[in-house]
Each structure stands twice: as structure tokens, then as C-alpha cells.
Amino acid sequence: MAEGPRGSGGLGDIAGWQVHKSAKGMLDRGLVAESGREGDRVRGVVMEGPKRYQSGLLIRSRTDVENLCTCPTSRGRGLICAHSIAVALSLIRGARVAPALARPAPG
């Protein structure tokens, strides 16, 4: 398997370069509203327009990773999605996330 992008903690290997590229774009556009880690779980929230995805990964080993995202790609197709990779990238980068994006607008 090809090595993932530098500084990505092997996430390119887990999901492939196309998903990694999409995830990087989500992070760069500020769509990761929350991120955190609890043991072997990475969890967060990714906003895409009006949609809010609870995203994350359960990382048992370098080759045993379960996607925890609520998006159609994860639920319907069983694939590791860009949302969960974006959450993991935000933790690797130590990115500041925008918690205000995670809350619904008042009204």
C-alpha cells in the first residue's frame, strides 16, 4: 500500500489519497466544528451546509479501523469517509475548531 501524505499519521493509507485530499479540504475550509480523542476513539462534528455529521474513527490497530460517521458514505456504503478523516487530521494538526459552528442557529 502506498504511504500516505507526510504528517497525516497514516490516514492516507486508511482511506486512500482521494478521501484524504477531500478531508484536508474540509479542514482547511473550517468545516470541522469539534474534535477530540478518548482512548482509541477519535470523535468530532463536521458541518456541510445544513448537514451535521457526528464523525470519528475507532482505531484498534494500523490496519483495523472502524468508521463512526453518520454520513451516507459511511452508513450506506461502509467506507471510511472524508468527514472522519478530517476530524482525525484536525487532532493531528492541533487545529483550533469552531465550536459555534456545531450549535444550531438561534431562532
Phi, psi angles (nearest 5°) of residue 51:
-90, 140
Q: What is the pLDDT along the chain (107 residues), one digit of tens a residue?
A: 333 344 455 676 788 899 999 999 999 999 999 999 999 999 999 999 999 999 999 999 888 999 999 999 899 998 999 999 999 999 988 855 544 344 444 44
DSSP assignment of 40-100 equals: TEEEEEEEETTEEEEEEEEESSSS-EEE---SHHHHHH-PPPHHHHHHHHHHHHT----HH
Question: Considering only CA atoms, which of 40, 19, 38 is closest in space to residue 86?
Answer: 19
Q: For residues 49-77, b (16+ Cβ closer than 10 Å) or e, as one string?
A: eeebbbbbbebeeeeebebbbbbebbeee
Per the CB < 8 A criterion, the answer to whether 2 and 13 are in contact is yes
pLDDT of residue 5: 42
